[in-house]
Amino acid sequence: MAAYIARRLLATIPVMAIVGIFVFMLLHLTPGDPAAIIAGDNATEQNIAAIRARLGLDRPLHEQFASWVWNTVRGDLGISMFSNMPVTKLVLQRAEPTIALTITTLIVAVTIAITVGVLAAWKVGTLLDRAVMGFAVMGFSVPVFVVGYLLVYVFSMKLKWLPVQGYVSIDQGLWPCLRNLILPSVALGLAYVALIARITRASMLEVLAEDYIRTANAKGVATSNVLLRHALKNAAVPIVTVIGIGVALLISGVVITESVFNIPGVGRLVVDAIARRDYPIIQGVMIIFSGVYVLVNLAVDLVYTFLDPRIRY
Amino acid sequence: MTTAIIAADCPAPAIADRLRIFARRNPTIAIGGTLLALVSLAAAAAPLIAGDPIVFMPINRLKPPSDEFLLGTDSLGRDVFARTIYGARISLLVGLTVALFAVAIGLGIGLASGYYRRVDAVVMRLMDGIMAIPAILLAIALVSVMGSSVRVVIVAIAIPEIPRVARLVRSVVLSVRELPYVDAARASGSKVRKILLRHILPSTIPPLIVQATYICASAILVEAGLSFLGAGTPPEFPTWGNMIAQSRLYLAIAPWTIFAPGACLALVVLSINLLGDGLRDRLDPRLARRM
């Protein structure tokens, strides 16, 4: 097992290396002077020269790359152009709301999606099944920000049940924090729920057609037991895969959700950086989010071996 | 003999009947296709059916929907109906070109890496790397470096889609290349290029068509997201994303400024997804059973 984990960890290195090369090269692939691009349209010659010196753009490319990689590996993601603070520090300051939002959404969405998917597979062909599948197609199609504003309009402005926007730190109590996260989580999680519910239903349908399910039913095992212990357990591998892949949806969605609900998280940091042409921030957050995605999928790979002992290390 | 008589007795069904039969058998294709056709038509005929989307009339700020302004006006007094219709142009353009671009490049990469083992190892690692970068961040980075224009947005949205196409094509190539007829072609001395293009490529087309519709839907969503965040096409052009972004402060007093473009966006993406589901059921039965 330890050898397997070590091998999987090693396998993430080339992936992250490619992410790194890609992220680094983005600024240099473009025609023209990167310093001039960062400086913007109204920059003076001195501004551009200052930026060039600060980002080390006057050094040879391979030297820039080497020092950038070395710094990134040590956790130094450079200095923000706008606030002059280290990017790592800025990201850490903004991490709490983003983590709270993502984890809440993940837990709620996975619970709902698997329940709904199992029910749809159990009652396949019925109205319930069709409603779930219809909802899934809708969930893929309505963008995060449209759902977000619809929820705010109905639940915050008309019914006045929930706050319109903002974030309350978890230090001020669990409920005040969660109250602010309900609407953002629903908006963010909708597509994710749709994705997981669909794969759960498909995977369950495949397993429910197996002989041992008929046997279990025939010998009188309670339906809930057949569904959860016999079927869901065996249907779990594709579901867990999609939960991992779908994290990409959550990460992209977080950037937009935080803008809609005015949550001061890492996503907002990036969006604010767009207008300020604060390229080091965009670069740093890209590396961090990609790293999270790779780690989540590594974890998924490791979970397989627990779910299905037939998968060898 | 009998078949000839029957065929002669029953004239071929009229086109309307055939369409009705097709629609009954493939409801999702029919609904999705019709909705999409209507929106495309409206976008193409925008100058004929809608007023000026750019001009602002401060007197008419935030007017609710009425006979004069079907969907009301926004905070600058611009006609929301006209802007929504014109906004469809950017969305459809981006969706279509991203799908074509991503499929063309992904197809080339997938064919090569499915057939040549040596290319495969390198290229698939590269694809894994690109897939690990969140699509919207990649697009934000590209747009902030290369400036905002429709062309940059299209490239930025297409790049993260390429690995998905390449992997799909590769998996088809891997399963088809071992089939006897490909062996036969190889044994009879066909050139590699001919084997790839004449014998393997056709098998990739049905799943690619399905994939292309999904890419189109997701490209429209990402474009709207980028415009919403201010990293999309230049703000002078009305797009559904930037219309919503520009009206966000007026949600309480002028909800139509947000929900009119929002509803159109959802409707278009929904109809493309329905079309994709229908095509998948028809063209790719193996995948259809799994989903």
CA distances from A133 to A164, B140, B291 (A): 30, 32, 10
Q: What is the pLDDT of residues A185-209, one digit of tens each?
A: 999 999 999 999 999 999 999 899 8
Rounded to whole angstroms, how far apart are CA atoms B54 and B134?
33
Of residues B213, B211, B212, B186, the one with CA closest to residue B198? B186
Chain A from 210 to 269: CB within 8 A of any B CB: 248, 251-252, 255-256, 259-260
pLDDT category of residue A38 using cuts at 50, 70 and 90: confident
- Domain boundaries defined on chain A: 11-73, 87-312
Rounded to whole angstroms, how far apart are CA atoms B44 and A145?
26
Contacts of B145 in chain A (CB under 8 A): 26-27, 30, 34, 37, 279
* One-letter amino acid for residue A184 of the chain: P
CA distances from B165 to A92, B140, B192 (A): 35, 22, 21
Q: What is the pLDDT of residues B144-155, one digit of tens each?
A: 888 788 898 999
Contact B119, B185 (CB under 8 A): no
Interface contact flag, A26 B221, Cβ < 8 Å: no
Distance from CA of A171 to the nearest CA of B (A): 29
Q: List the structure tokens of B259.
A: 């929900």
Report the share of chain A in percent with pLDDT over 70. Answer: 97
DSSP B58: G
The most confident of the ranges A147-156, B9-18, B116-125 is A147-156
Chain A from 128 to 147: CB within 8 A of any B CB: 137-138, 140-146
Q: A290 — contact with chain B (CB < 8 Å)? A: yes
Q: What is the pLDDT of residue B18?
A: 85
Contacts of B104 (CB under 8 A, 6+ apart): none
Model pTM?
0.88
Q: What is the pLDDT of residue B291?
A: 47
H or E element, residue B174: helix B162-176
| CATH no., domain A87-312 | 1.10.3720.10
Closest chain B residue by Cα to residue A198: B291
Q: What is the pLDDT of residue B194?
A: 87
Average pLDDT value for chain A? 87
Q: What is the pLDDT of residue B10?
A: 60
Give backbone dihedrals phi and psi of B189, rounded to 5 degrees, phi first. 90, 20
Helix then strand then coil, in percent of chain A rounded to 5, is 80, 0, 20
Contact B249, B20 (CB under 8 A): no
Contacts of A26 in chain B (CB under 8 A): 141-142, 145
pLDDT category of residue A313 using cuts at 50, 70 and 90: low
Q: A178 — contact with chain B (CB < 8 Å)? A: no
ipTM over 0.90? The verdict is no
Interface test with A, best of B221, B233, B267, B268 (most A CBs within 10 A): B221
Q: What is the pLDDT of residue B9?
A: 56
Between the CA atoms of A11, A14, A20 and A23, what dihedral angle is there, to the nearest 10 degrees? -100
pLDDT at B97 over 90: yes
pLDDT category of residue A101 using cuts at 50, 70 and 90: very high
pLDDT at A102 over 90: yes
pLDDT category of residue B11 using cuts at 50, 70 and 90: low
Helix, strand, or coil (residue A78): coil
Distance from CA of A221 to the nearest CA of B (A): 27
pLDDT at A149 over 60: yes
Report the share of chain B in percent with pLDDT over 70. Answer: 92
Distance from CA of A276 to the nearest CA of B (A): 10
Rounded to whole angstroms, how far apart are CA atoms B162 and B146?
20
Distance of CA A205 to the CA centre of its chain: 28
Q: How many angstroms separate the first and last alpha carbons of chain B?
A: 44
pLDDT at A267 over 70: yes
Complete domains list, chain B, with CATH: 26-290 (1.10.3720.10)
Work out the burial of residue A238: count CB atoms within 10 Å of its CB; fewer than 13 is exposed, 13-18 middle, 19 or more buried: middle
Q: What is the pLDDT of residue B1?
A: 45
pLDDT at B108 over 60: yes
Rounded to whole angstroms, how far apart are CA atoms A149 and A162?
13
Of A83 and A97, the structure prediction assigns the larger pLDDT to A97
Q: What is the pLDDT of residue B12?
A: 66
Interface contact flag, B269 A293, Cβ < 8 Å: no
Q: What is the pLDDT of residues B213-243, one digit of tens each?
A: 999 999 999 999 999 998 888 878 889 988 8
pLDDT category of residue B8 using cuts at 50, 70 and 90: low
Closest chain B residue by Cα to residue A206: B290
Q: What is the pLDDT of residue A183?
A: 93
Q: List the structure tokens of A114.
A: 């698997």
Closest chain B residue by Cα to residue A283: B141
Mean local confidence (pLDDT), A112-133: 92
Q: What is the pLDDT of residues B245-279, one digit of tens each?
A: 888 888 878 888 889 899 999 999 999 999 988 88
pLDDT at A184 over 80: yes
pLDDT at A225 over 50: yes
